[in-house]
Amino acid sequence: MKKFFILLICFLSLSSTLANSKNDLYEKIDLFGEVLENIKDEYVDDVNQAEMMDSAINGVLQSLDPYSAYMSPELFKEMQTDTKGEFGGLGIEIGMEAGVVKVISPIDDTPAAKAGIKAGDYIVKIGKEQVQGKSLLEAVKLMRGPVGTSIELTVRRKNVKKPLEFKIVRKIIEVQSVSAKLLGEDKNLGYIRLKSFNENSDKQVLKSVKDFEKKNKVKGYVFDLRNNPGGLLTQAINITDFFLEDGEIVSTKGRKISETRKFFARKGDEIKGKPIVVMINNGSASASEIFAGALKDHKRAIILGENSYGKGSVQSIIPLQNGGGMRLTISKYYLPSGKSISEVGVTPDIFVEEEGENFLINSDRDNQLNYAIKLFNS
């Protein structure tokens, strides 16, 4: 009987807590309605209430994290473009940070990269439009436009006092995700530049590796993931698996059981234990961080360069009844060590910062790549 009363008290206490929580929620909803009425009746200018509600919904989602966002029916339709390697625009991957649009990575050989946009730049104006207060998807919409037309971006850059202005011509962006060549004085280093993780990246990487291995003279590999904004999780897992004999590659954890999974390497190292250097920078994000982080945790590679971006989460696109949609974070990535990548990124074993104003990836002026090559000769 005593146990029964204890359980009854616990149940009543829990019920009271849930009731109070619901009451608090209803009070907030009433408060929100009151605010809307006051804006409608008292604000100095007429307000489009539908647009205001869209902004409120988006504000709720963006308060969760930089990657969750609301898409109106018009924007949702526009955003449903082909993502299989070809799209229109400037060639940059962007995210939000403290309400400001931040460049995650310029994609190689695109108008943005050629103009001089860098990872870590903050976009403050798109044309004549101030970016502050706009959602990420609204910023994307402003940057897109007819191929051949130009747009001006005003950016703020770390350690540069004045804002920088770039005039960029829009074009069709074709992402060739993998390029490979032999490096070093004796041409005995396999260099593989991985620009993104798209549908066929694993096949391209494997073909490059097998071609190098047939030459029977390659003593090590440099995988260049600088300014690689990521892509498909399956591709990150497949490519990492090529260089591990066993062990965990990555895990995802979410509230739903279906979003909590672990992925493991299968037996077989395609390069039979040859040394690997993986190059990363602030523009290496998401799938790039999984690849670099897993090889680092398994002590299979030396990571060289700068700290990666820190995007360690998975978003799902959820259609809504009004024809719009929402992008919502549903799980996070965790490295084999159990560490989360989110907002932390992967720390290099050897920190080498890019040098000089004329720095260019994979060129004679690329001090980071030159350092990687020297590691194999030391």
Taken in order of first residue, the domains within the chain and their CATH numbers are 76-174 (2.30.42.10), 178-377 (3.90.226.10)
User: Does pLDDT of 295 surpass 90?
Assistant: yes
Cα separation, 236 vs 287, whole angstroms = 5
Per-residue buried b or exposed e for 117-143, using 16+ beta carbons within 10 Å of the residue's own CB: bbbbbbbbbbeeeebeebbbbbbbbbb
Q: What is the pLDDT of residues 224-278, one digit of tens each?
A: 999 998 988 999 999 999 999 999 999 999 988 888 999 999 999 999 999 999 9
Name the more confident of 81 and 32: 32
E strand intervals along the chain? 69-71, 86-89, 92-97, 100-106, 122-126, 129-130, 150-156, 164-169, 171-174, 178-183, 189-194, 220-224, 248-254, 261-264, 276-280, 302-305, 313-319, 325-334, 350-351
* CB-count burial class (<10 Å; 0-12, 13-18, 19+) for 68: buried
What is the structure's pLDDT at 306? 96
What is the structure's pLDDT at 20? 61
Q: What is the pLDDT of residues 162-220, one digit of tens each?
A: 999 999 999 887 777 899 999 988 889 999 999 999 888 999 999 999 999 988 789 99
What is the structure's pLDDT at 3? 45
User: Does pLDDT of 26 surpass 90?
Assistant: no
pTM listed for this prediction = 0.78
Confidence of residue 69 (pLDDT cuts 50, 70, 90): confident
* Catalytic residue annotation: 286, 297, 311
Give CA separation, 147 vs 37, 172, 173, 175, 356, in Å. 43, 7, 10, 16, 32
Q: What is the pLDDT of residues 321-354, one digit of tens each?
A: 999 899 899 999 999 999 999 889 999 999 999 8
Cα diameter, the chain:
85
What is the structure's pLDDT at 292? 97
26-40, 78-92, 125-139, 347-361: which range is least confident on average?
78-92
What is the secondary structure of 12-41 as a DSSP string?
A: HHHHHHHHHHHHHHHHHHHHHHHHHHHHHH
